[in-house]
Structure 1
Amino acid sequence: MADDFRDLRCKAAQTKAIALDVDGVLTDGRLHIDEQGCEHKIFHSRDGHGIKMLQKLGVEVAIITGRSSPAVLKRAEGLGIKHVILNCTTKGEAIEQLSETLNQPLKHIAAMGDDLIDLPMLNRAGLAATVPEAPAIIRACCDWTSPLPGGQGAVRALIDLIITARGDWPTVLEQHR
C-alpha cells in the first residue's frame, strides 16, 4: 500500500499536462436535451477554479471528448483551455498527439476519464484517474479514483492531488493572498 501511494505521488509530481473527458468527469454524465434539441451541461465551479490554478502553475489543460457541444467550447473558452478535441473516437491517438503538440512525454500527462472510450487515453497517460461511478473495469485500470463524483468536484480532487505531489501549495496560496 505504501509503495502504491509513493508511485501515485511520483506520477502526480511529474504532471506537466492534464487531459480531461467531459461527460461523467467534468459533468455528472447526464445529458440534458431540451425540446428544441439543445444540449445543456452543468459544470462545477471548483473544477474550473482548479483548472485555473493549474494553468497559473504552467500545467497545460486539454479536453478530449467523444461528443460535440457548444457548451463545452464555451466552458473551455471561459477557462482559457487551448487544447480541445471534440467528437474524438480515438482518445489514445488524441493523447499521443497532445504529447507531441506540447512536447511532453506521455508519462508527464495525467488523464481523467470514466468509460471504455477513455481507456486507450488512460492506458497511455502517465497518471490515469477516474471517478467513483466509473465501471469497475475502468477503476481497475486507473492509478487513482477520485473520492468525489464526476461533475461534483472530481477534477478538483485530482488537481489538488497533483498540486500536493508537486509541492506547489505555497505558490498557489501566495497567488490567492
Structure 2
Amino acid sequence: MQANNQRLTIGISELHERARAIALLLLDVDGILTDGRLYFSNSGEEMKTFHTLDGQGIRFALDAGIGVGIITGRESTLVTQRCKDLGINIIYQGVSDKSRVLDQICAEHNLSTEAIAYAGDDAPDVPVLERVGLAASVPAGHRCALEAAHMITAAQGGSGAVREIIDFILASQGKLTY
C-alpha cells in the first residue's frame, strides 16, 4: 500500500518490513497533527485545528493494539484535551530534547527504538527520526526532517497525514480492516 503521491527514501519492501515491527507511534503536534500554523484569538487564546481523519486513524491504531503518543516542544491545554478525547495516554509537552524523551518512553514501555514509529517535521524532530524503526514526515516539513524520514506522506500535516501513516502500518501488519 502506497499513496499516489507518497515519497519513500527507502524501498517499499524495507518500509513494509519496518512497519511490521511497530508497536508504538509517536507524533509531533505542530506540523503533523496540525497544519503547523499558530492561531490566536483577540484575547490571546491559542487555537488549533485537528483533522477527523487523523483522529479516526488514531482510534483504529489503538484498537489494533498499536500505542500512540505525543512528543511536542510546545505546551497546550488543547493538545491535552485532544489526547484525552482520543485515548492517548503518552503525552510529553514542552520538550526540548525529544531524543531523551524517546529513551524514557522506550524504558517505560520496554520497547526498542525499532518498535517505534515517529512523525516529525522540523529540526527538533531529527534526532528521533534518525533513531526510530519507521520515520515519517510531511511534504511541508523542513528539508532536514525530510532527509531523515523513511517516508514522506502525500497528505500535509493536519490534513490526514497521521491517518496515512497509520493506514500504512496497519496494512503492513495485516490489521487494516477497512
Aligned counterpart, 2:12? 5
How far did residue 35 of structure 1 move? Answer: 1.7
What number of residue pairs does the alignment pair up? 170
How far did residue 137 of structure 1 move? Answer: 2.2
SS in 2 for 1:93: helix
Aligned counterpart, 1:49? 56
SS in 1 for 2:130: helix
In angstroms, what is the RMSD of aligned CA positions?
Answer: 1.2
| TM-score, reference length from structure 2 | 0.93
Aligned counterpart, 1:105? 112
1:73 counterpart = 2:85: no
Gaps of 5+ in 2: 1-7
Aligned counterpart, 1:125? 132
Aligned counterpart, 1:21? 28
| TM-score, reference length from structure 1 | 0.93
Aligned counterpart in structure 2 of residue 58 of structure 1, from 54, 62, 65: 65
The runs of 4+ residues in structure 1 deviating greater than 2 Å are: none
Deviations 1:84-129 (A, max 9, x none): 0000010011111111111111100000000001111111111100
Aligned counterpart, 2:154? 147
1:134 counterpart = 2:141: yes
Q: Kindly indicate whether the alpha-carbon contact (under 8 Å) linking 1:94 and 1:121 is maintained by their aligned counterparts in 2.
A: no
Provide the C-alpha distance between the structure 2 equivalents of 1:163 and 1:94, rounded to a whole number of angstroms: 25
Aligned counterpart in structure 2 of residue 166 of structure 1, from 147, 153, 173: 173
Name the structure, 1 or 2, with higher relative contact order (CA <8 Å, separation 6+): 2
**Equivalent residue letter for 1:65:** T
SS in 2 for 1:124: coil
**Equivalent residue letter for 2:21:** Q
Q: Kindly indicate whether the alpha-carbon contact (under 8 Å) linking 2:68 and 2:88 is maintained by their aligned counterparts in 1.
A: yes
Deviations 1:107-163 (A, max 9, x none): 000000000011111111111000001122211111000000000000000001001
Write 1 or 2 for the structure with the bigger share of helix: 1
Aligned sequence identity (%)? 37
